[in-house]
Structure 1
Amino acid sequence: MLGRLPTSTPLPPPPAPPAPSVASLAASLPSPASAVAASRPPGPANFPQIRRVRAPEAAPGMSSSASSAEGYPAAGGDFTEVVIVRHGETSWNASRIIQGHMDAELNDIGRQQAVAVAHRLSREVKAAAIYSSDLKRAAETAQTIARICNLPNVVFDPALRERHIGDLQGMKFQDAATERPEAYKAFMSHKRNQQIPGGGESLDQLSERCVSCLYNIVEKHKGERVIVVSHGGTIRELYRHASPTRPLHGKIHNTSVSVILVSDTTGRCIVKTCGDISHLQEAGAGVLENAFGGDKNSA
């Protein structure tokens, strides 16, 4: 048995979004040292037995600063503030099943997490718009945020989907190496141009579509605050673009909040907050420590 869940089906790949004018400027701009949250690449994957714990203030090596953190430019003027939220927990996260473009829904814990992050964002500066991946786990999280924050309808964009994992989608991670060795080897590869058999994306392809989407959003909301709901792998690629010289430590937990400031004129990015889950602590909620997803092998 491969541990597949038959209730979810893969969706067609998203179209390649057009690159906006700001993106070409941003490509050659390094992120300043003050904009980073970590200094060492993540180590090899390690998946001990899953256990639920109280949410820490932030993942190790990540900033837990509030959105009004001193020393950072605010939204308005030359910067757009992009608040990036990972979707809530799914049963597939809990079972360490590779999701990719498979369309799993939130579980009860995930819905509670979505409410917690929504209440947090409702107490902050109101966003002008909310964007989301069109996969169900992100869409439901975004709709909960929009309802509680009294925001306009969610704008769904397939460019914000998780990485397509090809032949591994729907499999338990523990089965992947033996059942689909070639796809597993490609998935675990450090080569950024390595595609995954079965239609899977390379990391470079994932980065190209989600970073382009980021700048498209910035073009539409210059100087404003916007919320983006997406997935662990996608968020890590957005962080990598914003902070190319200082790779990310730790895990992007379900409903964690990351904030990237993007210059409206130069495309320069500043990481203001990364992986903050203090709202889960305040709500008395838990996270799945070491569940699959949200680390460097997120899917």
Structure 2
Amino acid sequence: MEILLIRHGESEADILNVHEGRADFSLTDLGRQQVSLMAKKVKLEFPPDFIWASTLQRASETGELLSETVNCPVEYEEQLMEFNNGVQAGLSFEEAKKYPKPQYLHERYREGESHIEFRMRIESIFSEIISVNNYNRIAIVAHGGVINCILRSFFGMGISKDYYFKLGDTSISFLELVERNKIVHFINNISHLDPLKQLR
């Protein structure tokens, strides 16, 4: 089974310079351009048979546009939502400073979840997606934090956050499961965004 991990495009939160997480912002015009380029690359090189996408707007819009481009079904899954940062969601970086940052993996922002709970949530839904999958190639369209959790799980990393995978807007990571073997084709491919660089 081949697995594409795709991060959403630029969202309004990136322009407003606020904490995102569970704050539900839509894609920007640039974000939609990024998604269009990503979808064309995916359709040409490794079109999925089925797409799973987070229900938050920035990811669900990305999943919908990808689905329309490659002409395959998409299912929206709440458990693929980004880390629940509670009261921090939607606040400016300055405003958020009034709330103490969790010091330990088991601590939460008020009304949010801990990093342990987040990792376990993503491990659980990733396991479920794999176990019910009947397709040769699937795509999971989600968020940087979610994809980091999936990659840490795939590599068998511990619960700590010692390693962080930097993922650009609409980045594509390509994994494969062949019986008991785990294959990493690539991580954080954003070559499809090159045409946008030329326009600057």
- TM-score where L is the length of structure 1: 0.60
Structure 1 position 141, deviation (Å):
0.5
Structure 2 Cα separation of the partners of residues 247 and 238 of structure 1: 12
More helix by share: 2
Structure 1 Cα separation of the partners of residues 186 and 14 of structure 2: 24
Gaps of 5+ in 1: 1-79, 287-299
Q: Which moved more, 1:87-96 or 1:239-248?
A: 239-248
Which structure would you say has the larger Rg?
Answer: 1
Q: Classify 1:223/1:105 alpha carbon distance in 2 versus 1 (closer, same or farther; 3 Å).
A: closer
Gaps of 5+ in 2: none
Aligned counterpart, 1:17: none
Aligned counterpart, 1:239: 151
8 Å CA contact retained: 2:55, 2:76: yes
Provide the aligned length of Structure 1 versus Structure 2: 193
8 Å CA contact retained: 2:55, 2:77: yes
Structure 1 Cα separation of the partners of residues 173 and 70 of structure 2: 18
Structure 1 Cα separation of the partners of residues 16 and 182 of structure 2: 35
Structure 1 Cα separation of the partners of residues 163 and 22 of structure 2: 25
Structure 1 Cα separation of the partners of residues 87 and 4 of structure 2: 32
- Which of structures 1 and 2 has the larger relative contact order (alpha carbons within 8 angstroms, sep 6+)? 1
8 Å CA contact retained: 2:50, 2:135: no
| 2:159 aligned with 1:248 | no
8 Å CA contact retained: 1:165, 1:200: yes
Percent identical pairs in the alignment equals: 28
| 2:176 aligned with 1:176 | no
Q: Classify 1:175/1:271 alpha carbon distance in 2 versus 1 (closer, same or farther; 3 Å).
A: farther
Q: Cα deviations across residues 181-223 of structure 1 (Å, max 9, x unaligned)?
A: x2xx21xx3x3222211x2111111111112211211122256
8 Å CA contact retained: 1:168, 1:176: yes
More strand by share: 2
Structure 2 Cα separation of the partners of residues 118 and 193 of structure 1: 37
- TM-score where L is the length of structure 2: 0.88
Structure 2 Cα separation of the partners of residues 125 and 239 of structure 1: 19
Letter paired with 1:200: G
Structure 1 Cα separation of the partners of residues 122 and 128 of structure 2: 10
**Superposed CA RMSD:** 1.9
Q: Which runs of 4+ in 1 moved over 4 A?
A: none
Structure 2 Cα separation of the partners of residues 285 and 167 of structure 1: 35
What is the SS of the residue equivalent to 1:275?
Answer: strand
1:229 to 118, 124, 141: 141
| 2:200 aligned with 1:285 | no
